[in-house]
Structure 1
């Protein structure tokens, strides 16, 4: 269905694609993945013809209709319903022609074709797609200009799905969706029968929809069979094999070099040395497996505060007097809570988040918060409002006035902005880097409660995994809104459903909620409920697991400090033995025999401390 070979693209003097090659079978569902900035969107634009590659060819069979969402959201006075219906250009053309054609035979042909493409069912199909993406009947009839850019991009996605192209290209389709619309989209794509190429960082979507993964790395593409989990297993095996080959090649080079160094000056072996030198010159290097040390999220641990952190009692919140968005709110948040807010966009999740963050005052009822409570609140607006002319160091310094430069840089370093990365202009950063910077800024005071509203937007799969690990290692409470089901499953142990103008604990699991959204448990009936005692047990177990993790991390930190102390002591003893003039006064008075004995003892203790450190670190990470 789609073949491309040797695709090379350079933009701004940088090589983005370097001989990218792949052959996608007809009917395949391919997830295109890679780190941010790897060139995924560039490859998509090459396939659609928007970008002409410097080298290489793209082959698509004739008469294959390619569907791709334009960068600009649709606008104007047309409604979402009208916009989606108009996406079926053949239906629109035939209907217009049927209104004016006079020839009866041609009219019969038009009606035959309209029946063949099931034009009569198009309005119902368009409405179903729009409902799935969050548009109720009233919203479907409003003009596009009355919607935000994110909702208009949903209309563009609906129009693309409605048009049923033979080759469907989707670039981050869930970026503007909530969890409920993402679940619907995943279910829709599972039943879509054409070939598709999807750029996504959603692990669940890639596992449940894709049957191949196309990995873009260092400008080249590698095709794997199966979903994302299968890709990860195959990639680990490939990396392990590459590392083994690299180690073997290095050993062979060292052996050849040793022979050359030993024998090239000897007359009787000079010719053999020359042949080995030629072999050395022809040996291709094998690159080491690339790792990104800047992929860091490390939330500072807050000082302990007695529970509860926040209690809502009969609270209401909104933006216009007398018109609360949410009411009858009875909610308690403790220091060990990991809460996911569920509910469709527009139901009030952000309103609840702002109330908890102290950005909204309660219209009625009470909001009781610990007097020492510090809250870190992350939203996409903070990412968008970062000054592109400033550096991370300037942003952080403004928010930490009076703090020593070392403390400012230490907070930046927790999120991967060390050295030169701290003084790069924000304008040159990727969306994922800006999100990391925003998280660094809001956690500078070690908040007791972290509120995250769609934190995974702009983060690739590896960055999302690092974020999940950091959240699980964080000692404060977390309230999160996200369409990333994988993150919710791993980082949340309590679900709160926001709907019908209020919010309350959801009695089931995330799987139950998925079934409820998709109508898989009795046409939208209540999910299978879990007794409250079971939920308390689950929360208690999660809290105990976090406490064990905290103790293990503390053990690792103590062991690391002991390794550093013993290492420094060994250096002092070495200095006393080999440079007495710079030795500590106490060491300078000791004999060489005493120093050697002390060094041997310190070295043994250091080796034991290093083993203890490694064991504690592995236990903490496990």
Structure 2
């Protein structure tokens, strides 16, 4: 069992952890959650011995091997496979001993131990872990220095998983992963038998892996049984209880204060007043739930454009002339589309996103975009390239030249940068705050199409939920690339798989795609490639269907307006009938009411029939 006993850590004069106390059962899979900046990484460093607490103590099982993913990625001219195998230090030491000694007894003892730890199977196990994290056989044997930092971090993660520590500590392990590698990691961790502590903002990963949630808030921790959804339910219940207790306490304080104010200067009641004053002084105020400006997302919606927004017709795209990354692209985006791009990193998702954003031109085929189309394109590079010495106000003012200061501040306010937050330097902001600033910058023109490439990387769980709700309220089209399944499930109603040098609609749900990635559902069913005429007919039919759906939606809105108007008129007529002065014309009023009620019934019927027609059309589509 791991015991944290009153651990306090102060950094730079600030108390990060304040008397943290918890007992983690042996073999538990614990998700460590909390807002950005709450101190999760600090607590992890305490567990690894990287930070000595100012107060309190830590108790770990004797001889426990602790595995922690360092932030420095492995490098050198060795291969990923070599790096992962070297992570098992016992195996590496035994092999070195066998190579260095001529003593038969020591060689025999080393081989006995190698057999006991199944060292002969190590290369195959290491290769399987690397493959799960996206490295094919050729990549496993390339020099480490030929990979980007994100891919080398994957090698570090593979080595940590391969070493099988007794206490596995993972701090945001999916940050450098795509959806496919995240699914594999989740599946791996679900079967991991040792104790683990995982810092993550991935709701699905925490639900499917963790059996406990350790919530860090205001320097203190609370341990909850179950996954993330169970934790949220229990936290809501506690918050409701605390709010009720606070309301009760406020009423009690007001009652005591009123007694004191009235009777403290009366001789015969002074003693009772003094008693109540002492009760007031002893009463520790129950804090109200804190409002967090980090949860503010509000995307401005543009004027509506007629469909389509973008059409790709047998288009190709790439970076070098004659060397397209993606070919035979046939994609149409309409104003109400919500699309998720699926596929492993390196398959071309970002290339397709850049083509749709207008940053790349089609090499072959055709790309047609609406004449007044405005696109907001978000990438992690924009977050990293923000000037650390400038403020949000500086950044926004540069991108909105000539705009009145009120309009500049209004756009920043949509994303929580109001008051002093607007004049705070970027270098003093958290990663989540910088991501919100980048989102506010790319949406300043009220885009018709939002393209979001991994928008959740620096956001905690609550901020991700706020982003999902903001996207639901946004009236434009959305194309999203993300490894956060919860976000994809709530945002996208259309899946496009980028694979094998092209992109095509994935006929299935996100759960179907998960099964495909994990090999639970076999290969995707083969489909005959449609002819050019068939594709054109299909696109024409789809366009006709969308146009019918659009007309039906307009009819529904008109019907809703008519029902609301008639309901108001009927209520006004009912009030008139209750007026005693109306008795002389009651028969006329009753006749008018009957006619109005009949019209209302017909309007409601038309409303329901139109809504059912929309639903039937969506099912048929």
Cα deviation 1:396-426 (Å, max 9, x = unaligned): 1100111111111111111111111111111
Distance 1:130 1:55, change over 3 A: same
Matched pairs, number: 547
Cα deviation, residue 265, structure 1: 2.0
Cα deviation 1:298-336 (Å, max 9, x = unaligned): 111111111000001111011111111001111111111
Q: Is 2:450 the partner of 1:450? A: yes
**Which residue number in structure 2 is paired with residue 526 of structure 1?**
525
Once the two structures are superposed, the pairs formed by residues 20-99 of structure 1 within 5 Å of their partners are 20-99=20-99
**Which residue number in structure 1 is paired with residue 423 of structure 2?**
423
Distance 1:14 1:540, change over 3 A: farther
Cα deviation 1:337-386 (Å, max 9, x = unaligned): 10000000000001101111111111111001111111111000000000
Separation in 2 of the partners of 1:153 and 1:189? 18
Cα deviation, residue 263, structure 1: 2.4
**Which residue number in structure 1 is paired with residue 242 of structure 2?**
242
Once the two structures are superposed, the pairs formed by residues 329-408 of structure 1 within 5 Å of their partners are 329-408=329-408
- For normalisation by structure 2, the TM-score amounts to 0.85
1:447 and 1:476 in contact (8 A); partners too? yes
1:521 and 1:527 in contact (8 A); partners too? no
Cα deviation, residue 32, structure 1: 0.4
Cα deviation, residue 249, structure 1: 1.6
Cα deviation 1:577-601 (Å, max 9, x = unaligned): xxxxxxxxxxxxxxxxxxxxxxxxx
Cα deviation 1:493-551 (Å, max 9, x = unaligned): 000000000001001111000000000013x343999xx99x979x979x88x979x97
**Which residue number in structure 1 is paired with residue 132 of structure 2?**
132
Separation in 2 of the partners of 1:547 and 1:415? 30
Range with bigger deviation, 287-296 or 496-505? 287-296
Once the two structures are superposed, the pairs formed by residues 168-317 of structure 1 within 5 Å of their partners are 168-317=168-317
Distance 1:324 1:528, change over 3 A: closer
Separation in 1 of the partners of 2:503 and 2:421? 41
Cα deviation, residue 271, structure 1: 2.0
Distance 1:527 1:460, change over 3 A: farther
Q: Is 2:106 the partner of 1:106? A: yes
Separation in 2 of the partners of 1:551 and 1:166? 60
Cα deviation 1:206-233 (Å, max 9, x = unaligned): 0000000011100110111100000000
2:376 and 2:451 in contact (8 A); partners too? yes
Once the two structures are superposed, the pairs formed by residues 429-448 of structure 1 within 5 Å of their partners are 429-448=429-448
Cα deviation, residue 262, structure 1: 2.4
Cα deviation, residue 273, structure 1: 2.1
Distance 1:365 1:294, change over 3 A: same
**Which residue number in structure 2 is paired with residue 516 of structure 1?**
516
2:391 and 2:422 in contact (8 A); partners too? yes
Separation in 1 of the partners of 2:256 and 2:201? 45
Separation in 2 of the partners of 1:188 and 1:168? 13
Separation in 2 of the partners of 1:175 and 1:536? 37
Separation in 2 of the partners of 1:551 and 1:453? 33
- For normalisation by structure 1, the TM-score amounts to 0.85
1:513 and 1:527 in contact (8 A); partners too? no
2:391 and 2:425 in contact (8 A); partners too? yes
Structure 2 SS opposite 1:131: helix
2:317 and 2:363 in contact (8 A); partners too? yes
Q: CA RMSD in A?
A: 2.4
Separation in 1 of the partners of 2:307 and 2:202? 35
2:294 and 2:433 in contact (8 A); partners too? no
Once the two structures are superposed, the pairs formed by residues 481-500 of structure 1 within 5 Å of their partners are 481-500=481-500
**Which residue number in structure 2 is paired with residue 568 of structure 1?**
none
Separation in 2 of the partners of 1:28 and 1:87? 24
Structure 1 SS opposite 2:295: coil
Once the two structures are superposed, the pairs formed by residues 147-186 of structure 1 within 5 Å of their partners are 147-186=147-186
Cα deviation, residue 12, structure 1: 1.6
**Which residue number in structure 2 is paired with residue 120 of structure 1?**
120
Separation in 2 of the partners of 1:536 and 1:362? 24
Structure 2 SS opposite 1:174: coil
2:294 and 2:463 in contact (8 A); partners too? no
1:386 and 1:426 in contact (8 A); partners too? yes
Cα deviation 1:129-181 (Å, max 9, x = unaligned): 00000000010111111111000000000000000000000000000000000
Range with bigger deviation, 272-281 or 405-414? 272-281
Once the two structures are superposed, the pairs formed by residues 466-481 of structure 1 within 5 Å of their partners are 466-481=466-481
1:299 and 1:474 in contact (8 A); partners too? yes
Structure 2 SS opposite 1:388: coil
Unaligned runs of 5+ in 2: 529-537, 562-621
Cα deviation, residue 294, structure 1: 4.4
**Which residue number in structure 1 is paired with residue 327 of structure 2?**
327
Cα deviation 1:94-123 (Å, max 9, x = unaligned): 111122333333333222211111111100
Distance 1:528 1:122, change over 3 A: farther
Structure 1 SS opposite 2:292: coil
Distance 1:551 1:257, change over 3 A: farther
1:512 and 1:527 in contact (8 A); partners too? no
1:516 and 1:527 in contact (8 A); partners too? no
Separation in 2 of the partners of 1:501 and 1:551? 42
Distance 1:106 1:489, change over 3 A: same
1:376 and 1:451 in contact (8 A); partners too? yes
**Which residue number in structure 2 is paired with residue 607 of structure 1?**
none
Structure 1 SS opposite 2:525: coil
Distance 1:205 1:536, change over 3 A: farther
Structure 1 segments of 4+ aligned residues over 4 angstroms from their partners: none
Separation in 1 of the partners of 2:151 and 2:553? 41
Structure 2 SS opposite 1:368: strand
1:508 and 1:528 in contact (8 A); partners too? no
Distance 1:398 1:220, change over 3 A: same
Range with bigger deviation, 271-280 or 100-109? 100-109
